[in-house]
Structure 1
Amino acid sequence: MINNLQINGFKCFDEIAIDLGKITLFSGTNSSGKSSAIQALLVMDNAIKNPTSPLNGAWLDLGKFDETRNFITRPNQFSIKINQEAKTNTFTCLENETKPDFNFNFDLNYLSANRIGPQNTYQKNFDTKTLIGEKGEFLMDLLYKYRNLKIDGERQINQANGNLEYQVNSWLKKLFNVKLELEDLGITNLLSAKYSQNNNKQIRPYHIGTGISYVVGILILGLYLPKGSILVVENPEIHLHPKAQSELANFFCFIANADVQVIIESHSDHIFNGIRKSVFNKTISNNDAKIHFFEMKDDVSVNHLINLSEKGKILDYQEGLFDQFDNDLNVLLGF
């Protein structure tokens, strides 16, 4: 597990340190540094997998050094450092040179806000260099290939059957009361997906709630990944009803407590409160949940660690931290 991320001179950051837990939430206003913090992690991952072009790859399109260094301080280099217990990985980038110093490997898996949505058919994956594709387009194939994979007991929400397909459907039932079935279309190298409710007629993804297609990939990957892996998800709340958002936050805490590190960027108060509720219900410890609120001050990004009590109470409130509902309600009530 990565315990700490340090960024110097990269994009909107001058100098910042971010503590990471089993589950970490990046929150804050638009253009306050949340995505840049995730990109810093992606740079570290890409520098290992693609050392000749660490700023650009499957999940990155950062351009050149001058576009990537802090635009206010304009340093002659930027650095990113991640810590894992006593081990440290450092990546330093200058205009015409990079200086990697890596002492451990880590398995990072990223689902962007632009991940694939409803499709009539899904591609099979024949590329051994990628597990899920740039936009998660191979996640259905991952489920189909490994549908009978026995997942560890800590990630089994239903003990009746421990295979991956059954566990994914158990979560789909909990969130949406639907069941997913995949069919191999043979020589087309495609898979079809069908959903059903209460064992009724099967329907294509375009004829059921859009949010289901965006969430199913998260469920597949979160349950499939080996222990010790890192799952990064941007805007998991896309197209989801508030109740489903809260349940999805519980899923994240559930797998995080089973040794899959989860890092989320979200604007959803339901994701935030869902994590707090999971702390209250002891799905995860308050010490293992790290909430960060980002904001801009003097043209650079700063972050505030929001600590939670054992009951999920906010101990370090910051103005702007998921408070718009209360602000709007105060106006409506005449306060």
Structure 2
Amino acid sequence: MYCQMCCASGNTSCGDARMSTTLHKLIIKNFKQFDEIEIELGNIVVFVGPNNSGKTTALQALSLWQIGVETWQYKQEETKNGERVAINRLDLTAIPNKDARMLWRNLVTHQRGAKKNAFDITIIVEGITNGERWRCGMIFRFDNNESFYCQPLKGQTPPIPDGAKHIRVALLPPMSGLMLEEPLLQRGRINVLIGEGQTAQVMRNLCYLVYEKNDQTGHWDMITQIVKDQFGVSLGVPSYNAGRGIVELTYQTPTGVTLDLLTAGSGMRQLILLLVYIYLHPNTILLLDEPDAHLEFLRQQAVYQLISTSAQAQQSQVIIASHAEGILETAAQRDIVIAFIGKPHRMNQLDHLKRALREFPYVDYYLAEQNGWVLYLEGATDLAILQAFAKKLHHNVLPFLDRVFMKEILVKYLDSDRTSLANKHFYALKDEALPELIGILIVDNPPNSKKLEDKPHFRQLKWSRREIENYIAIPEVLVAYAGENGHLMQNLIQDRIPPVALRDREDRWWHITKMSDDFLDPLFETYYQELGLPNLIRKTNYHILANYLTPDQIHPEIIEKLDAIYDVAQRAKPRQ
């Protein structure tokens, strides 16, 4: 991760910029409303919960920890024997406050019999950098209303582990609108205004910063293409009006009308803000507070996918605070969801959060009208794998998969049938919402599975092999994923795959094995145990493996299924 001292000056080329870091645990004590909590983290994490439940507070705690680490390193020369350093409350640009006391939970500065450190804020972060695990705790002790002290956790050796030294954290608060005019600002002032939640005053400036480096990065071109795909408009070029001292940005509608960004819808401005912020912060722990605040349900899932892919391309980790149903439904099947209900805890079952919803919520009928077609899969992981295949093949179906109305057909009861659930849902929408609705169902192929009723208006297909993971569980792909640990992966593969199957890639084993549960799960569990690391890839992340396939390794059946989806999407007739 880049260090923030470099970031403040706009330099992102420090010596440790290529370090690969993932934070996997956050422990907070005595910070704001928290007494003591522990939060599991991962590549992409979503915090959900009611207002004032502590989602934003947890993001701020991670930001405070990073400020503590950075300040302690920067001011070591001023300290006595490398001990505590002072931090002014004004330095907390991401945690604006009028009184440093507000950071503490039930702060009492003078209490008879109380231990000196009884009211210290303690924030501990655990992570993995380039395969090495580390743990770094920082202690914050109140001094006065304007400042407080900070130092590493006692007994921590070294005081700041190498993996924690150059971590960069960036917190983006909810979008606050857009100013009529924006003066050109320096990067430091932009950071202060963002910390204060004044995104309305800096959005054009952020766009200008991205565009300035477009020749080297191409990021502005990427953003304009995404906006065009999602909203059908063409973004102009950010420019500086020297006469007025302001940054200007326009867009062109499909009919050729040029308008100021101020006239754009809040959803479009929200997406632009997210994208420019992500592209301005590579190799960063991105903390996004309610990135869905101005998005209708239709766009929530699409934007979540864009956040995921854009952050991955920038080698950034993402932690999101949200309560949008669209983001929640997608994240619960693919990523880590932390519920801030009582003490923050990981949610393993999406059904707990859907208890109050009807079997077929109104939004499904709305989406049916808007899209004209439905894709039924067994979960968000299947969609992510199909998207990865389509991207690798440059398949025409990719734009449709990026904004698809995908209905998960997870079995809720042991005696429930996936196909029956899909049929019930599809014909309810077709009868009540859109008679012209068409759909496509693609399911696993378990033993003794029923014959499907494939119809032109509702294609019903199954994989010829057991499940979609059977098409990515290829030895060469797994070895490529392991990288420098490929020899270990090769040995584990030989231990788990029958010799006859290793010799013959059309052997029955490749067809009937439930690859996710019976092969990949135990394989990666053993692989990471051998490396002494927590398992970094589970079933919800197997779509990552698809990125390691070469086009010639993609099975012809994958192309057939993508072609079938494309055909349905092309024939769809949304309600006008």
TM-score (norm 2): 0.46
Other structure's SS at 2:105 match: coil
Kindly provide the CA deviation profile for residues 140-159 of structure 1, in whole angstroms up to 9, marking residues without a partner as x.
Answer: 22123123232xxxxxxxxx
Question: Aligned equivalents of 2:32 and 2:252: distance in 1?
Answer: 46
Q: 2:338 aligns with which of 287, 292, 298?
A: 292
Pairing 1:185-200 to 2, within 5 Å after superposition? 185-198=241-254, 200=256
Number of equivalences: 292
> Residues 188 and 48 of structure 1: is their aligned pair in 2 closer, same or farther, counting only changes over 3 Å?
farther
> Residues 54 and 83 of structure 1: is their aligned pair in 2 closer, same or farther, counting only changes over 3 Å?
farther
Q: What is the Cα deviation at residue 209 of structure 1?
A: 1.0
Q: Which residue of the partner structure matches residue 275 of structure 2? A: 219
Q: 2:258 aligns with which of 194, 202, 206?
A: 202
Structure with the bigger RCO (C-alpha within 8 Å, sep 6+) is 1
Question: Aligned equivalents of 2:269 and 2:23: distance in 1?
Answer: 29
> Residues 255 and 112 of structure 1: is their aligned pair in 2 closer, same or farther, counting only changes over 3 Å?
same
Segment of structure 1 superposing worse, 180-189 or 239-248 = 180-189
Pairing 1:37-116 to 2, within 5 Å after superposition? 37-48=58-69, 52-53=86-87, 55-56=89-90, 57-62=92-97, 64=99, 66-71=101-106, 75-85=118-128, 86-96=133-143, 98-101=149-152, 102-103=160-161, 104-113=165-174, 115-116=175-176
Segment of structure 1 superposing worse, 201-210 or 20-29 = 201-210
Q: Which residue of the partner structure matches residue 177 of structure 2? A: 117
Segment of structure 1 superposing worse, 140-149 or 12-21 = 140-149
Kindly provide the CA deviation profile for residues 2-44 of structure 1, in whole angstroms up to 9, marking residues without a partner as x.
Answer: 2211111222222211111111111011221111101101212
Other structure's SS at 1:17 match: strand
Preserved CA contact (<8 Å) 2:26 2:38: yes
What percent of counterpart residues are identical?
A: 19
Q: Which residue of the partner structure matches residue 347 of structure 2? A: 306
Kindly provide the CA deviation profile for residues 174-200 of structure 1, in whole angstroms up to 9, marking residues without a partner as x.
Answer: 222222112321343322111122261
Structure of higher CA gyration radius: 2
> Residues 71 and 219 of structure 1: is their aligned pair in 2 closer, same or farther, counting only changes over 3 Å?
same
Preserved CA contact (<8 Å) 1:47 1:54: no
> Residues 121 and 108 of structure 1: is their aligned pair in 2 closer, same or farther, counting only changes over 3 Å?
same
> Residues 165 and 204 of structure 1: is their aligned pair in 2 closer, same or farther, counting only changes over 3 Å?
same
Question: Aligned equivalents of 1:72 and 1:19: distance in 2?
Answer: 27
Q: Which residue of the partner structure matches residue 176 of structure 1? A: 231
Preserved CA contact (<8 Å) 1:23 1:253: yes
Q: Which residue of the partner structure matches residue 147 of structure 1? A: 214
Other structure's SS at 2:341 match: strand
TM-score (norm 1): 0.77
Segment of structure 1 superposing worse, 51-60 or 192-201 = 51-60
Q: Which residue of the partner structure matches residue 25 of structure 1? A: 46
> Residues 236 and 249 of structure 1: is their aligned pair in 2 closer, same or farther, counting only changes over 3 Å?
same
Preserved CA contact (<8 Å) 1:65 1:94: no
Letter in 2 for 1:167: M
What RMSD in Å do the two structures reach over aligned CA positions?
Answer: 3.0
Which has the larger helix fraction?
A: 2
Preserved CA contact (<8 Å) 1:184 1:190: yes
> Residues 243 and 139 of structure 1: is their aligned pair in 2 closer, same or farther, counting only changes over 3 Å?
same
Where do 5+ consecutive residues of structure 1 fail to align? 151-162, 280-285, 297-301, 308-314, 331-335
> Residues 327 and 11 of structure 1: is their aligned pair in 2 closer, same or farther, counting only changes over 3 Å?
farther
Question: Aligned equivalents of 2:225 and 2:355: distance in 1?
Answer: 33
> Residues 72 and 272 of structure 1: is their aligned pair in 2 closer, same or farther, counting only changes over 3 Å?
farther
Other structure's SS at 1:125 match: coil
Which has the larger strand fraction?
A: 1
Question: Aligned equivalents of 1:58 and 1:15: distance in 2?
Answer: 24
Where do 5+ consecutive residues of structure 2 fail to align? 1-21, 72-84, 110-117, 153-159, 363-576
